[in-house]
Amino acid sequence: MTRPVNDPLTEAVYAVMADAADRAIRPRYQHLAASEIIEKAHDDLVTVADKESEAILSEGLAKILPEAAIVGEEAAHADPAILSRLGEDLCWIIDPLDGTNNFAHGRPPFGILIALAQGGETIGGWIFDVLSGRFCHARRGEGAFLNGERLTARPTGTEPPVAAISLMFADSDRRAALQTHIAPHYTLVDIPRCAAEQYPRLALGVNDVSIFERTLAWDHAAGVLFLNEAGGKAARFDGSPYRVNEDRKGLIGASSPALWEELAARVAEI
């Protein structure tokens, strides 16, 4: 990988993510015991690798910016009061193993997501694919990068556009409306159940658009910034920016602003 240059913060974050991958995640891939997989809720798993990765990441990030609060997915699950820290002046947001269901079943994709927010706005995002080593990052106002090289988002160029639409967290009426009014205008592909994969797909010419119903900060903060800095567009259904400290549903990601506008107009009609 071409390492990021002239960005000490990204260098430091990358080192912490690589450490968590090496020590907690990669050694357990396809080697989990049944007792090391727990169902937090229906179809929502956590593994020993998630917990150990979060501990390593939390410790490492605290050394980089001791003044920043830390909100990790598993810590917030254990104590929802931690979510109040998302709006603090500086806050690390950690998804220690994004795509846990895939990982627990011994298949890709899965990765690590880290974001840094300031007053509820994401100012840094880092996405690490544990198996391939692909490293995506963005800093607010500084562009998006893939393995250290500047990246510009590109559509697939196919017609109709390629859409990955998550229906998992939509109610039955919403699901039916999406299938009836949105799906016919796109070539539908399966969602990867991994934001660390979905956002890069939108920037790399694999998918054109995505609809997300649930928009938890650890799943989306890094990817939204990355896609926007790459020249695509990710925003709420009404066009308002994504903020990590808002408990709202609904988000559209697209490889270009034009594709975003087209899908948003259709969503507004249902």
Per-residue pLDDT of 218-246, as tens digits, reads: 999 999 999 999 999 999 999 999 999 99
pLDDT at 6: 65
Least confident among 120-129, 132-141, 179-188, 207-216: 179-188
Percent of the chain past pLDDT 70, that is, above it, reads 98
Instruction: Using alpha carbons, select from 95, 105, 99 the residue that is nearest to residue 29.
Output: 105
pLDDT at 5: 56
pLDDT band at 1 (very low <50, low <70, confident <90, very high): very low
Residue position matching structure tokens 């562009």: 143
Residue type, 56: I
Domain with CATH 3.40.190.80 in the chain: 162-268
- Looking at CATH, the fold of the domain delimited by 162-268 is given as D-Maltodextrin-Binding Protein; domain 2 (3.40.190)
Neighbours of 156 (CB within 10 A): 18
The dotted CATH code for 8-150 is: 3.30.540.10
Q: At a CB cut-off of 8 Å and minimum separation 6, what does 27 contact?
A: none
Q: Looking at residues 96-121, what average pLDDT do you find? A: 97
pTM: 0.94
Distance CA 94, CA 258 (A): 31
Domain with CATH 3.30.540.10 in the chain: 8-150
Q: 112 pLDDT exceeds 80?
A: yes
Q: What is the pLDDT of residues 134-192, one digit of tens each?
A: 999 999 999 999 999 999 999 999 999 999 988 777 778 888 888 888 989 999 999 99
Q: 28 pLDDT exceeds 60?
A: yes
